[in-house]
Structures are given as C-alpha cells and as structure tokens.
Amino acid sequence: MHKAAVPIAGAAMVLFFANARFNSSYIRPGTPGAITSLVLEAGATYTFKGGFCVRPHFEYNTILDSVLRAAVGISEWVSLRKPDMFNFGMAIGFSFE
C-alpha cells in the first residue's frame, strides 16, 4: 500500500532593524535608525517514499518606516521599485535519513 506524504508546515514573522549609520549610507543621508521591514513567510515540506521532498513556500516583505518607504525608487542603492514584495518558490530535493 502506498503511503501518502505528510506535510510539515512552517511559518515565521521577522522584523528587521537598521541603525542610522546603515540607513544614511545605503538609503539617504540623515535617515534615522528604525525597524525597517516586516517579513512573513510560510511553507510546507512534503516528503515522499525514497526521501524525495517538495517544499512550496511564499514570502511577503514590506517596508514599515515611512521615510524608507518614500526613499524606495529614489535611492541609487535601493533596487526596489515598490516598498512591498511578494515571492513564491518551490524547493525540490532529497532527504537522507
């Protein structure tokens, strides 16, 4: 009898902080230190017979600080065009147990 893959789910919420020196160097001079962005991640790993694994996952990232949000698209150091970003991916691999 074939055994179905049981998903193992995971999720995370991450806050990023950048100090004033970092922000002044990479965003815009005079930018204060701040909690800069929020990242939400979720995914599930499915492991099949023989150790074959598939992991669909997604990530949402948004810039929280209003000064930094305004600098997006202006700064030569920031390659983003919008202050919000959504990523989706599919990881494929093998589990060696």
The domain ranges of the chain are 7-94
Q: How confident is the model at residue 81 (pLDDT cuts 50, 70, 90)?
A: low
What separation in angstroms does the CA of 14 have from each of 34, 59, 76, 89, 92? 14, 11, 26, 18, 24
Task: Please determine, for residue 2, whether its predicted confidence score (pLDDT) is greater than 60.
Answer: no
Distance spanning both ends of the chain, measured CA to CA: 21
pLDDT at 4: 65
**What pLDDT, on a 0 to 100 scale, did the predictor assign at position 41?**
96
Q: What is the pLDDT of residue 26?
A: 73
CATH code for the part of the protein at 7-94: 2.20.200
pLDDT digits (tens, 9 = 90+) for 31-74: 778 888 899 999 999 988 888 999 999 999 988 887 777 776 66
Query: Is the confidence at residue 76, as pLDDT, over 90?
Result: no
What's the CA gap between 14 and 30, in Å, rounded? 25
